[in-house]
Amino acid sequence: MTDSRRAAGLLAIGLCLLAAMLEGFDIASMGVAAPKMMPALGLSKPEAGLAFSASLFGLFVGAAASGPLADRLGRRPVLLTAVIVYGLFSLLTAFVTDYGLLLTVRGLTGAGLGGAMPMLIAIASELATEKRRTVVVTSVTAGMPMGGALVGLVARTNLAQADWRLIFLVGGVAPLIMALALWLWLPETHRPVAAERVPAAGLKALFGKGRLTTTLSLWLSFAAIALVLHLFLNWLPILIVDRGFAPKQAAGISTLFNLGGAAGGVLVGLVIDRIGPRWPLAVAFAGLIAVLLALAAPDAGIGLTAVLAFAVGFLIMAGQFGLYGVGPGYYPSAVRGTGVGAAIAAGRFGSALGPMAAGELLGAGASGSQVVWFTVPVVVICAAAALVLTLWGKTAEG
């Protein structure tokens, strides 16, 4: 590879990382803004849970639609459209005045967000060498928790403490600027496939030639870990406030959660590229169960809670981004957008259930500790599905 091609590839990967950071900023923004936003709009906890899930159901629709479109049209135009859509509707979130409009705007924001991540994963996978594919994909997706950490820092500023709308103004304008950079410098990594060939090829790649177990275990593991991740992304600040800590402390703990996630995502990619996915994922999920049990203790002080939040973020995203890293390798290039998009759509469905379930539990009188306990069996299910995937999953070359 020439120096110019290598530089162009690194620039493209860097753009994908920045785009993932902006997606993470927006996904985490609702949870971080919630302690101020809920009283301002008069939202109950069940209503807030539905508002969180509105964008996540939109994520499901966007992820499901973007993969087949990208296999037909190319990765670049679909990614550009998705970034513009979620930037515009994130910006509009700052101006909502009632609950119904909030649900609509966040649902449309989610549709854009859902279309972006499958493209970022597919592009990063296709730009990377086979030897470094997992670490490149996990490094790009680690941009999501980095963006989540950034929104926590923004929320701690005096301006954001005074007006929650600032978070959505930043989260809306930045993606629109990013879209221009992607248009100027991001290359296309996939030659589109004729439209009439994609549906049959996609279904065959997902379920044919012994891939039924592969696809179903991939979907179940993506859905389960996303449920847990988005429950914490959206509700962790409120769970911390409900323990008696200040909103600014809760925003700081949310930042630590996301910083832990970024570190876990990159580290697991390095390890998987060296020894394969089975043991790194098993260790991540086993550790996550232990740390969740510790976090569920209701009498933890602010220092211990901060350490445990960092560890939970580290292990959740090590598991999720490890799955993201290995997922593209189970589908041939011609239908990789379809395969990755379908898996992420399954994850988005799980991500929508998490905040909604937490809202209903809290609305029914459950404590924050009981909500954390609720996530443990979900992680067990995820670990079992990941084990099946790594034992019997059929790769693109298989």
Given a contact cutoff of 8 angstroms between Cβ atoms, the answer to whether 119 and 132 are in contact is: no
pLDDT digits (tens, 9 = 90+) for 292-338: 999 988 777 889 999 999 999 999 999 998 998 888 888 877 777 77
**Structural domains present in the chain:** 3-185+197-392 (1.20.1250.20)
Distance CA 79, CA 140 (A): 14
The amino acid at residue 231 is L
- Using only C-alpha atoms, the chain has a radius of gyration, in whole angstroms, of 20
Residue 367, class by beta-carbon neighbours within 10 Å (0-12 exposed, 13-18 middle, 19+ buried)?
Answer: middle
Look at residue 132 and give its three-state secondary structure.
Answer: coil
pLDDT at 195 over 60: no
pLDDT at 96 over 50: yes
Mean pLDDT across 49-67? 83
> 204 vs 27, which has greater pLDDT?
27
pLDDT at 165 over 80: yes
pLDDT at 281 over 60: yes
Mean pLDDT across 182-210? 69
Q: Within 13 Å and on the Cβ side, how many CA atoms surround 65?
A: 17
pLDDT digits (tens, 9 = 90+) for 238-255: 888 888 888 888 888 988
pLDDT at 194 over 60: no
Question: Would you place residue 198 in the very low, low, confident or very high pLDDT band (cuts 50, 70, 90)?
Answer: very low
- If you search the block for the tokens 């449920």, which residue do you land on? 227
pLDDT at 372 over 50: yes
pLDDT at 324: 86
- Give me 147's structure tokens: 């963006």
Mean pLDDT across 91-97? 94
pLDDT at 305: 92
pLDDT at 201 over 60: no
pLDDT averaged over every residue in the chain: 87
- Give me 20's structure tokens: 């993932």
pLDDT at 265 over 60: yes
- Give me 134's structure tokens: 């997992």
